Amino acid sequence: MSRFKKLLVIAPVIAFLVAVTVPAAMADSFNLATSHCSSPCAPPGTIFGTDTLTQSGTTVDGTVHLNSPFVFANTGAADNQPFKFNATGVVLGDITVNQSVPGQTLAADTGVFNGDGTGQFTFGIACTTCGGGLSSAFSNDITFHVANATIADLTVPNSDGYLFVADVGNPLNGSTGPIAAIPTIPTTPVPEPASIWLLGSAMVGLGFVRKRARK
């Protein structure tokens, strides 16, 4: 068997191994839908937003998004944390936060947070420059990163069965309050860019080998 024929046999095997051995990124999305507003923030059944967690190597990337017209508030009912969560085996120094709100500063925070009967949380994302209530409300996504962690570390329900809490306001009626997420959405695998690149490279190599073999 010629060298090129051997390569024709091996190349598909390489492409297959690349596809199955490079791990896929895992993304979990959870609805912020359980309202603890002191007055109705929205009709029952409203989905206020989502928290999406994506495993990127040894880091978990989190994106908290609110649907229109809702905004992040800063109230004592949510311990003055626009977003709260728990994490197993994580320390404050593992958490970094994107500065996504012009003119304001977002920072990771830790403490014993148990506002408005939503159960205890250890970590939060605070707006250290925001005024109270809706005075500095913002709708920009909160994006944070937790190093040396897995999605499972961030998705253990607290004693009240909640995974996360966002401090949400409705500027149309002035209502504010904690909105919680419960563990109801399954994990969905998403291919990592690295795996796509490697698979593509293998297929390009296969095409090159076939071209050489036809000469």
- CB 139 within 8 Å of CB 70: yes
User: How far is 107 from 82, CA to CA, in rounded Å?
Assistant: 11
Nearest Cα to Cα of residue 51 among 144, 156, 149? 144
- The token duo for 153 is 């570390």
CA atoms within 13 A on the CB side of 100: 16
Q: Give the model's pLDDT for residue 25.
A: 64
Q: Return per-residue pLDDT of the chain as tens, 215 residues.
A: 555 444 334 444 344 433 434 445 689 999 999 999 988 999 999 999 999 999 999 999 999 999 999 999 999 999 999 999 999 999 999 999 999 999 999 999 999 999 998 999 999 999 999 999 999 999 999 999 999 999 999 999 999 999 999 999 999 999 999 999 998 744 444 454 544 444 444 444 445 444 454 55
- The token duo for 9 is 């046999």
- The token duo for 95 is 């958490």
Find where tokens 């709260």 sit: 84
Q: Write a three-state SS string for the chain.
A: CCHHHHHHHHHHHHHHHHHHHCCCEEEEEEEEEEECCCCCCCCCCCCCEEEEEEEECCEEEEEEEECCCCEEEECHHHCCCCEEECCCCCCHHHEEECCCCCCCCEEEEEEEECHHHCCCEEEEEEECCCCCEEEEEECCCEEEEECCCCHHHHCCCCCCCCCEEEEEEECCCCEEEEEEECCCCCCEEECCHHHHHHHHHHHHHHHHHHHHHHC
Q: Give the model's pLDDT for residue 1.
A: 54
- CB 97 within 8 Å of CB 108: yes
Q: Give the model's pLDDT for residue 117.
A: 86
Domain boundaries, the chain: 1-23+191-215, 25-190
Q: Give the model's pLDDT for residue 184.
A: 73
Nearest Cα to Cα of residue 208 among 18, 28, 1, 15? 15
